[in-house]
């Protein structure tokens, strides 16, 4: 049943958020620490475990994959509610520090990524588990 997939996703999401809040609390920070990342790890482990036990029918997978495929539309909606006016009103300090921060980080990313041993072996070469719902977006 498709709801099993969506429910699995929801349970991982909630567990991750709660654990992230607990972690934030333990560290004395007023925010969630990596809740979404923890939820992602939980979902990865759940998938590996269920696939091994053969309790992951195709329809359950689709219940998760639908939301993964909805990711780009959700991001578009997210872009449409950014506080663009405040961002542009921040003036030269905001503009300069943001541009410089992005520039410095971009250079470091470029340097680190060039150290990778065989960068020609792109993602296409590694057999990504297929989300057929994504074929259209490529």
Partner 1 sequence: MLEIIQKALVQNGLVAAFALVGLIVLLSGQISRRLTMGRVHGSAIAIMIGLALAYWGGTQTGGHKGLADMSLFGGIGLMGGAMLRDFAIVATAFEVQATEARRAGLIGAVSLLLGTILPFIVGATIAWSFGYSDAVSMTTIGAGAVTYIVGPVTGAAIGASPDVMALSIATGLVKAIFVMVGTPIAARFLALKTPRSAMVFGGLAGTVSGVSAGLAATDRKLVPYGALVATFHTGLGCFMGPSVLFLTTKAIVG
Q: Which of residues 100-119 bind partner 1 (CB under 8 A)?
A: 100-102, 104-106, 108-110, 112-114, 116, 119
Told to check if 26 binds partner 1 by CB under 8 A, we report: no
Told to check if 3 binds partner 1 by CB under 8 A, we report: no
**Would you say 54 or 78 has its CB closer to partner 1?**
78
**Residue 10 CB coordination number (10 Å):** 15
Q: What CA–CA distance (Å, rounded) separates 73 from 77?
A: 6
Near partner 1 in 36-95, by CB under 8 A: 36-37, 39-41, 43-44, 47-48, 61, 64-68, 70-95
Nearest distance, CB of residue 82 and partner 1, angstroms: 5
**Would you say 54 or 80 has its CB closer to partner 1?**
80
DSSP 61-80: HHHHHHHHHTHHHHHHHHHT
Told to check if 19 binds partner 1 by CB under 8 A, we report: no
Q: Which helix (H) or strand (E) holds 11?
A: helix 2-27
Q: What CA–CA distance (Å, rounded) separates 33 from 135?
A: 33
For residue 41 the two structure tokens come to: 């790890």
Binding residue (CB under 8 A) for partner 1 from 25, 31, 58, 59: 31
Nearest distance, CB of residue 89 and partner 1, angstroms: 7
Q: What CA–CA distance (Å, rounded) separates 12 from 5?
A: 11
Nearest distance, CB of residue 129 and partner 1, angstroms: 6
Is 89 exposed, middle or buried (CB count within 10 Å of its CB: 0-12, 13-18, 19+)?
Answer: exposed
């Amino acid at each position: 049943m498709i709801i099993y997939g969506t429910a699995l996703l929801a349970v991982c999401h909630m567990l991750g958020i709660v654990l992230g809040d607990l972690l934030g609390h333990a560290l004395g920070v007023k925010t969630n620490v990596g809740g979404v990342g923890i939820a992602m790890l939980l979902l990865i482990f759940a998938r590996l475990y269920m696939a091994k036990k053969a309790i992951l029918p195709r329809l359950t997978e689709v219940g998760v994959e639908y939301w993964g495929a909805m990711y780009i539309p959700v991001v578009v909606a997210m872009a449409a509610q950014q506080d663009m006016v405040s961002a542009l009103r921040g003036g030269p300090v905001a503009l300069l520090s943001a541009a410089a921060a992005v520039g410095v980080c971009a250079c470091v990313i470029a340097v680190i990524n060039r150290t990778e041993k065989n960068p020609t072996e792109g993602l296409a070469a590694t057999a990504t588990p297929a989300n057929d719902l994504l074929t259209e977006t490529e």
